[in-house]
């Protein structure tokens, strides 16, 4: 549709095309003989236009211009041509204005400019070398990373044959591969199943991954080539393979060690127990059959031999138990720590009904782990609390949880018993390490070592705090379920 006006020297409208008037939502007849000021058009748009109009009247020559204007409350952009109009009336000078709405064209141009800027930003930010190659194998575009990967400056890359970036032994074959790709241009990796190498400007070769994508343009079919230097990746892969071989060797060695440990445990269980059973049995026989011929000192010696052999047998049992826990296969399940703790406390109350022990077992303590091993751990911790509160008239034992760290909650067993000096805490979890004398509290010092092994096998850790005669607290964590999936 034509947008056309005719103006006189006073900037009054002498003609307005119907379409031009409709854009302004005015009657053409109402505009004739009136200026833009009288019609109330925005000065910010019309003043520059009027200056151009006067220039045409003054210099009597055609002038091109552009201006924004509000059309139905929308800002639109127009290009126009002002041309002097010859008339038969000697006293009348007119200028004809032809205009075109170029808003959509400019918006499209702006969109194209934005797309181009985005494209160039992506090219610049891309971590891989990107090359655009025409049908003749000539590089027509290269990003900054291509300069880094291949060592050539941008000016040298543009116009270069793509084969220049390959070791010489591959160049002649690649021409054929490139021509074949032109007949079936699809997005795919280059050289599937083959090792690819590129050539740096300094002559050094390096391994690459290359992917190809076709790009249809007005200039014909182009190929986008994305190349990645995989030197570091190959080195990492080789390192991982070497570590895996080393790990497989270690696993084999560990299997052999475990078999030897099994054999040793069998030997301990059978070969060492037999002499101990002999010592204990013959000592008992002497006490029973020859008590009349032995004085009190002789009988005391025999009782000591029996007690020592029984302690030795118990130590062997404890060692075997610790060894089995270290090697036992973990079977994952949902474990009710609250239920297990209540069962253990009930058993201890039945064994010692005279004890006055106040217990606090937190409800709904549920974890992922091996039910059998975690029961052994809780038995040792609660048994210690039960044992070391024996001298308290009102003993207190608590099993609870500190959920301040929701990702890895901390569980604890607390008592108000004998406690211990923290100066010796580093010895606490060592096998056969005791912080109290056998006369004060019985035991062999294997329980906490067992607990530590179980907690560690569950991906957690255990620690303790205490004060002499004011009790102790043993805290432990257990790994999240993902840990067991990685074992």
**Residue spans per domain, the chain:** 3-108, 126-229, 234-324, 330-485
Give the global pTM: 0.46
Residue 431: predicted pLDDT: 66
**Would you say 213 and 223 are in contact if contact means Cβ atoms under 8 Å apart?**
yes
What three-state secondary structure class fits 210? strand
DSSP sequence for 321-369: HHHHHHHPPP-EEEEEHHHHHHHHHHHHHHH-TT--EEEEE-TT-EEEE
Q: Read out DSSP for 410-440? A: EEEEEE-S----GGGGGGTTSTT--SS-TTT
Nearest 10 degrees: Cα torsion 183, 184, 186, 191: -90
The Cα–Cα gap between 39 and 69 comes to 14
Question: Which residue from 430, 419, 414, 400 is spatially nearest to 468, judged by alpha carbons?
Answer: 419
Distance (Å, whole) CA 329 – CA 372: 11
Distance, C-alpha 376 to centroid of its chain: 36
Give pairs for 71-78: CB < 8 Å, separation 24+: 71/23, 71/24, 72/23, 72/25, 76/101, 76/103, 77/101, 77/102, 77/103, 77/106, 78/3, 78/102, 78/103
Distance between CA atoms of residues 376 and 388, nearest Å: 18
Q: Which CATH class is domain 3-108?
A: alpha beta
How far does CA 414 lie from the centroid of its chain? 37
What is the Cα–Cα distance from 229 to 206, expressed in whole angstroms? 7
The position carrying tokens 């059309």 is: 71
- Token pair, residue 281, equals 């049995």
The CATH fold assigned to 330-485 is Heat Shock Protein 90 (3.30.565)
Task: Provide the pLDDT for residue 160.
Answer: 95
pLDDT of residue 487: 45
pLDDT at 150: 95
3-state secondary structure of 116: helix
d(CA 357, CA 355): 6
CA distance 343 to 138: 81
CATH topology for the 126-229 domain: Beta-Lactamase (3.30.450)
What confidence score (pLDDT) does residue 481 get? 45
Which of 119, 129, 125 is CA-nearest to residue 151?
129
C-alpha distances in Å from residue 402, one per residue of 251, 317, 476: 37, 35, 10
Per residue in 54-101, pLDDT (tens digit) is 999 999 899 998 888 888 888 888 899 999 987 766 566 899 999 988
**Same fold for the pair 126-229 and 234-324:** no
Low-confidence ranges of the chain (pLDDT < 70): 1, 88-92, 258, 260-262, 264-273, 315, 318-319, 321-323, 326-327, 404-406, 431-445, 480-487
DSSP state of 10: T
Q: Which pair of tokens denotes residue 355?
A: 């004890």
Q: Which CATH architecture has domain 234-324?
A: Orthogonal Bundle (1.10)
The residues, ordered by sequence, that sit 6+ positions from 185 with a Cβ below 8 Å of its Cβ are 214, 221, 223
Tokens encoding 240 = 């991982």
């Amino acid at each position: 549709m034509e947008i056309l006006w005719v103006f006189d020297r006073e900037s009054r409208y002498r003609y307005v095309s119907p379409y031009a008037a409709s854009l302004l939502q005015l009657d053409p007849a109402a505009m004739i003989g009136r200026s833009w000021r009288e019609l109330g058009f925005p000065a910010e748009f019309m003043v520059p236009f009027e200056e151009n109009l006067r220039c045409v009247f003054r210099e009597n020559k055609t002038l091109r211009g552009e201006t924004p204007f509000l059309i139905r409350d929308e800002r639109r952009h127009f290009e126009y041509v002002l041309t002097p109009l010859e008339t038969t009336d000697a006293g009348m000078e007119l200028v004809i204005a032809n205009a075109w709405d170029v808003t959509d064209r400019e918006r499209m141009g702006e969109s194209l400019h934005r797309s181009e800027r985005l494209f160039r930003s992506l090219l610049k930010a891309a971590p891989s070398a990107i090359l655009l190659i025409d049908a003749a194998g000539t590089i027509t575009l290269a990003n900054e990373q291509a300069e880094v990967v291949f060592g050539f400056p941008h000016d040298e890359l543009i116009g270069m044959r793509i084969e220049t970036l390959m070791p010489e032994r591959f160049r002649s074959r690649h021409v054929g591969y490139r021509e074949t790709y032109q007949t079936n241009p699809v997005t795919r990796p280059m050289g599937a199943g083959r090792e690819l190498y590129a050539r740096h400007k300094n002559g050094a070769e390096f391994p690459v991954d290359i992917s190809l994508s076709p790009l249809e343009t007005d200039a014909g079919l182009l190929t986008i080539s994305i190349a990645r230097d995989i030197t570091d990746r190959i080195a990492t892969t080789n390192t991982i393979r070497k570590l895996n071989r080393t790990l497989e060797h270690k696993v084999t060695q560990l299997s052999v060690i475990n078999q030897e440990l099994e054999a040793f445990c069998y030997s301990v269980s059978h070969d060492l127990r037999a002499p101990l059973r002999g010592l204990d049995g013959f000592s008992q026989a002497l006490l029973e059959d020859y008590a009349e011929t032995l004085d009190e000192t002789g009988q005391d010696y025999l009782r000591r031999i029996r007690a020592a052999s029984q302690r030795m047998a118990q130590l062997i049992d404890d060692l075997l138990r610790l060894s089995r826990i270290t090697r036992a296969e973990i079977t994952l399940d949902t474990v009710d720590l609250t239920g297990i703790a209540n069962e253990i406390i009930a058993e201890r109350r039945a064994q010692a009904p005279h004890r006055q022990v106040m217990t606090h077992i937190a409800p709904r303590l549920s974890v992922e782990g091996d039910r059998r091993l975690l029961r052994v751990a809780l038995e040792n911790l609660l048994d210690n609390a039960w044992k070391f509160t024996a001298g308290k008239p009102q003993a207190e034992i608590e099993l609870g949880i500190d959920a301040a760290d929701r990702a890895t909650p901390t569980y604890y067993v607390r008592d108000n018993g004998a406690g211990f000096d923290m100066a010796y805490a580093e010895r606490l979890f060592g096998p056969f390490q005791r912080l109290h004398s056998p006369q004060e509290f019985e035991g062999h010092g294997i329980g906490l070592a067992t607990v530590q092994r179980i907690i560690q096998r569950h991906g957690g850790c255990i620690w303790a705090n205490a004060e002499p005669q004011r009790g102790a607290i043993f805290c432990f964590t257990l790994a999240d379920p993902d840990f067991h999936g990685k074992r």
